[in-house]
Amino acid sequence: EAQVTQNPRYLITVTGKKLTVTCSQNMNHEYMSWYRQDPGLGLRQIYYSMNVEVTDKGDVPEGYKVSRKEKRNFPLILESPSPNQTSLYFCASSLKDRAAYEQYFGPGTRLTVT
């Protein structure tokens, strides 16, 4: 089954404790992206990647890191989480030439930083 998976689905952590949210897709997609969703703000892009070893900032990259060492994986790293990073996070992927046409979303990761 074609899908985007994220782990964990729920995470509660404390300020400053490094964490990684994994994202994996099995559709051989070049394009992958991270969004965060906050009440009243919709979804906003954090980082994106057009291919292996190619990443760039989105609209709200501060406090986040990403890497793209393999085509299927695009982990989101919070090296020193803060309470303002409490949010719902989505990973999405697409074929590079179809990113404007369709993006597949993962199930979301609910992160709480206390």
Partner 1 sequence: AQTVTQSQPEMSVQEAETVTLSCTYDTSESDYYLFWYKQPPSRQMILVIRQEAYKQQNATENRFSVNFQKAAKSFSLKISDSQLGDAAMYFCAFPRGSGGSNYKLTFGKGTLLTVNP
Q: How far is the CB of 41 from partner 1 (least distance, A)?
A: 6
Q: Strands, DSSP E only, in the chain? A: 4-7, 10-13, 19-25, 31-38, 42-51, 54-57, 65-66, 76-78, 87-94, 104-105, 109-113
The 3-state DSSP class for residue 77 equals strand
Q: Residue 9 or residue 18: which is nearer to partner 1 going by CB?
A: 9
Instruction: List residues near partner 1 by CB under 8 A.
Output: 31, 33, 35, 40-45, 48, 50, 56, 58-59, 88, 90, 92, 94, 99-103, 105, 107-108, 110
Q: Residue 11 or residue 50: which is nearer to partner 1 going by CB?
A: 50
Residue in the block written with tokens 């299927």: 72
Q: Residue 1 or residue 102: which is nearer to partner 1 going by CB?
A: 102
